[in-house]
Amino acid sequence: MSLVSTPVVDANPPYFFPDYVITTKRSPRRRLVELPHGWFHTMPGPVFGQIAVRATDNDLTIQHPGAPQGQRIHLTGRVLDSDGRGVPNTLIEIWQANAAGRYVDPADPGFMPLDPNFTGAGRCITDNDGNYRFVTIRPAAYAGPKGTMFRPSHIHFSLFGRGLSERLITQCYFDGDPLIDHDPIINAVPDPDGRRRLVATFDHETTPLTSGGDTSALAYTWDIVLRGRGVTPMEG
Ligand SMILES: [Fe+2]
C-alpha cells in the first residue's frame, strides 16, 4: 500500500498560506524539479537508523527517571486506506510540546519551562490491522511567533510507508479545544470536514480501562486516512 495521498476533495492546505507564517519560507517559489528515479525516492523503507523501534518507544512518559508533568493521555487509532482497511508496518513518529507548552527544540522561544522528565518524541509501527498507540501527556497550548496566534493543543505526526519519499506530515488536535477555531494552521485546511478529521475524539468507554493510580489517563482516538473522500489533511 502506497502512502502517497491522492485526495478526491480539496482536503489539504495550500503550500502557501500567509496566516500560517512558516509557509512563507517553506512554500516553493520556483518550478518544482523532478528528482531522477532510482535513488532516494525508491529506497526501501522504513529506515530506522542505528536503533530499531522498540516496543516502549510509544510511551513518552517513561523516557526519564521521573514522571512528566501533565494530564496523561492514551492516543490510539488506525492508519487506513480509502476502503477502511488498516495499513500495517507504517512507521509513525510524533513530537509535541510539554504540559507547559514548551518544545525541547532550540527554535522554541523559551517562554515556558522545560520538563526534565519529558522529551516529547515517540514512535511506533502499525500492527497488522493498522493500529497504533501512544502513551503521553496532553501538550499545552502555546503562543506563536510575535503574538500572531495561540496554538491549540496538538501533536505532530509523521508517517513513513515503504518508500522514504512517502513521508506524510500532519497534526492531531483535541476535541473541544476552543483555540481550534482561531488557529491559522488548522484553518489553512480549506474543507471544514477536513479540519474535523484532524481532531481526536475523547473515548469515554475506553478511558476507565486506561485509568488507575499513577497511570490514570484520558483516552483519545484518532484515525489517519491516507486517501479517498475521508482523507486526513496533510501538510505539503
Ligand atoms: Fe507544534
CATH number at residue 181: 2.60.130.10
* Known active-site residue 64: no
pLDDT at 41: 53
CA 141 to centroid of ligand 1, rounded, Å: 9
* Known active-site residue 173: no
Q: What gap in Å lies between CA 28 and CA 133, rounded to an integer?
A: 34
* Residue 40 CA: distances (Å) to CA of 1, 43, 157: 18, 5, 21
What is the total count of domains within the chain?
1
Q: Are 160 and 46 in contact (CB under 8 A)?
A: yes
* Known active-site residue 151: yes
Q: What gap in Å lies between CA 128 and CA 2, rounded to an integer?
A: 15
Q: Whole domain around residue 154: which residue ranges?
A: 23-29+45-225
Question: Is 5 a member of any domain?
Answer: no
Candidates 74, 154, 197, 227; catalytic one: 154
Q: What gap in Å lies between CA 87 and CA 90, rounded to an integer?
A: 7
Question: Is 12 a member of any domain?
Answer: no
Question: Is 135 a member of any domain?
Answer: yes
Question: Is 185 a member of any domain?
Answer: yes
Candidates 20, 103, 132, 220; catalytic one: 103
Q: What gap in Å lies between CA 154 and CA 187, rounded to an integer?
A: 14
Measured from the Cβ of residue 145, the count of other Cβ atoms closer than 10 Å reads: 10
Question: Is 35 a member of any domain?
Answer: no
Give me 7's grid cell: 485526495
Give me 124's grid cell: 511506533
Question: Is 152 a member of any domain?
Answer: yes
Question: Is 74 a member of any domain?
Answer: yes
- pTM, 2 dp: 0.84
* Known active-site residue 154: yes
Q: Are 77 and 65 in contact (CB under 8 A)?
A: no
For residues 9-42, one letter each, b for 16 or more C-beta atoms within 10 angstroms of the residue's C-beta and e for the rest, the string is: eebbbeeebeebeebeeeeeeeeeeeeeeeeeee
Question: Is 1 a member of any domain?
Answer: no
CA 102 to centroid of ligand 1, rounded, Å: 9
Q: What is the pLDDT along the chain (236 residues), one digit of tens a residue?
A: 556 555 555 678 888 888 888 888 888 888 887 766 655 555 555 555 667 889 999 999 999 999 999 999 999 999 999 999 999 999 999 999 999 999 999 989 888 999 999 999 999 999 999 999 999 999 999 988 766 778 999 999 999 886 666 789 999 999 999 999 999 999 999 999 999 999 999 999 888 776 665 568 999 999 999 999 999 999 86
Best CA proximity match to 165, nearest among 22, 35, 50, 52: 35
